[in-house]
Structure 1
């Protein structure tokens, strides 16, 4: 907030305060959604991006640029565009959950597999559209395909903050049920947990948080995996009353510290999202190797 402030404080502090709050909102949404997804799937190397949210977001941007053009695309009302993106991603995920996670079929593995297939389909359609549009429009689509932490829209911050606060209240009420859910599906059912209702509720909250973070800054694939891996190394107990708070703090520290380093030390010589994806990808490979060694 105060590093290298050369000028008027009444201008610098509100500007940096909004950016700081936006980074904290995004960090909370990505960290908590990934933690809940790993709790539900009982797998520490899975992220909600496997369900195809990031690919759907990129496809939506490609379609908007293809039909409207780059000039009309940049002049769209940010609130309307933000609402459209959240509604589309949440509606698609809700339809996917409703079809593949009904009372007769509660196969979470099949849900993830279908999500991966849809992700590949969305990426292929985005690549096809990229070949059909002109180079100027392609630059706009390419810019929207990466997370942008430097050009956050303050108008979208209030809506995102309200969504995250409401989700925090709901998730905090489910913290003890999430602890029981970690014992496994049969044990949770035997202990009185309504598995279908809880799982569908968690998946809905995950979809809302991921859609909010993606619509606010863009797709971030491995950041949630990175902060959850750090949280699992730090925490001594697996209670969600501790892990939910800790993963939020770890995600906020990583994102804010990384942005501060890029702005103040590196003079914006790079893109923070690229470094996050690189570090998260390395952590993902390490987790896979560690899991394989344990099984061997």
Structure 2
């Protein structure tokens, strides 16, 4: 099991689909930084797309690189590894690198390269303040492609986060993550991920667990929001009549009581959000509400 670090880096499969830039924004909603593996195969594929798309990709990637949110990885299994790295594991990764290089399917190749670069970055003889997780797009690949149990969890969680459209500015992603409530939700999500990783659940069971928790959380909030809306409506309808009467009779204490009643209803809703079943995944739910999971 990997050690807990303050930051987590996603090694992003460079598949160059039409949603490539949107998927980078999606990944940044869950991870602190994204690495793009640069290989000869990637360069050849990049050079094969229309020049206007090349310019579009380059402009966006250059901007993201300037912000420090992404970096380009040119690592491989010729990396100088830190002392004590298991040579058997290194040999296994070298075999994986050779295997994926022989694949005709670029999507499978991209997933394998993400895994190889994640391993190289995690074990190279350089100190990083982040731990790398390969983002695997092909659900049919064996679970060891994800590198660690926590890697499996983060990949499954990522599938539950919407892909923002291309018009969504990067600032909107950063503002969302830096919201004080979402900072707390992210912390709770990471705590849940670290705890769940110890259960060693296979990806299929993990997906079922996440689906169940999200469903319970969503339904619980729906119920509490209905109660909150009904309470506010009642306060407005009944309170308006009482407000007029209390003003006429100069009963200002009753006016204040109605105002505090509405404030208490809002506090009850916030408390329900914290205590609802599945609240560990509140951040995932928030991304779906904000960026609209299709």
The answer to whether the superposition gives a TM-score over 0.5 is no
Relative to its length, the structure with more helix (as a share) is 1
The one of the two structures with greater contact order (alpha-carbon pairs below 8 A, sep at least 6) is: 1
Q: TM-score, normalization: structure 2?
A: 0.28
Relative to its length, the structure with more strand (as a share) is 2
Q: TM-score, normalization: structure 1?
A: 0.28
Structure index of larger Rg: 2
